[in-house]
Amino acid sequence: MSVRFEVNGKEVEVEVEPRVTLADCLRHQLRLTGTHLGCEHGVCGACTVIVDGAAVRSCLMLAVQAEGAKVVTVEGLSNDADLTPLQKSFRKHHALQCGFCTPGMITTAHALLSEEPDCDAARVREVLSGNLCRCTGYISIVEAVLDARAAYKQGGA
């Protein structure tokens, strides 16, 4: 089937079998391999992308369901000029070790901070509970997200 949607601000049209998940479509067809696949059944959160403003697991969505949607992947949350405030905060707090879970952490944190820049530590922990880090570096990840709030409050992220 042919499906059209927007990825990171760019209109795309891809030919996919109905059974192809949005995650596999992004990685294989569109070569956006920043989206990682850990469990492929909705547990680990590594494949989190933002669809029409909401963080979702791209392994639990078919590519054909993205028809007409605006999708943002981790690639869409960076730029060549400089690190974003969220990236800077992750760097400052050493919020990544092996880095496999990081794309899901970044997309989830970006969705959260965009909607709730005043969230507290309990809320950050609650939201990130859907993202597994097998290096178990959670404390620094939570600190990085909390520290990035200021940039989102100013609307500059």
Partner 1 sequence: MKLPPFAYACPTTLPEAVQLLAASDGDAKALAGGQSLMPMLAFRLAHPTLLVDLRKLADLRGIRISEKGVTLGAMVRWRDIEDDARLDTAHPLLKAAIAHVAHYQIRNRGTVGGSIAHADPAAEMPGIVMTCDAEIAVVGKSGARVFQAADFFQGALTTMLEPDQIIVEVRLPPWPKGRRWGFQEFARRRGDFAMAAAAVFYDQDSRGRAMNAHVGAIGVGDRPLRLAGVEDVLNGQVIDDAVIAKAEAAAAAAVDPPDDIHASAAYRRALTGTMVERALKQATV
Residue with smaller CB distance to partner 1, 28 or 92: 28
CB closer to partner 1 out of 59 and 144:
59
> Nearest approach, Cβ of 106 to partner 1 (angstroms)?
13
Q: Strand pairing partners for 56?
A: 49
Residue 72 bridge partners (DSSP): 50
Cβ 129 to partner 1, closest distance in Å? 4
CB 123 → partner 1: shortest distance, Å? Answer: 10
> Which CB atom, from 65 or from 78, has the smaller least distance to partner 1?
65
Q: What share of the chain is helix, strand, coil (3-state, %, to 5)?
A: 40, 15, 45
Q: Classify 56 as helix, strand or coil.
A: strand
Q: Which residues contact 14 (CB under 8 A, 6 or more apart)?
A: 2, 3, 25, 29, 30, 63
| Minimum CB–partner distance for residue 82 and partner 1 (Å) | 28
| 2/79 with CB nearer partner 1 | 2
Interface with partner 1 (CB under 8 A): 1, 17-21, 24, 40-42, 45, 48, 54-57, 59-62, 64-65, 67, 108, 112, 125-127, 129-130
Nearer Cβ to partner 1 (57/93): 57
CA neighbor of 23 nearest in space, from 37, 4, 6, 12: 37
CB of 112 to partner 1, least distance (A): 7
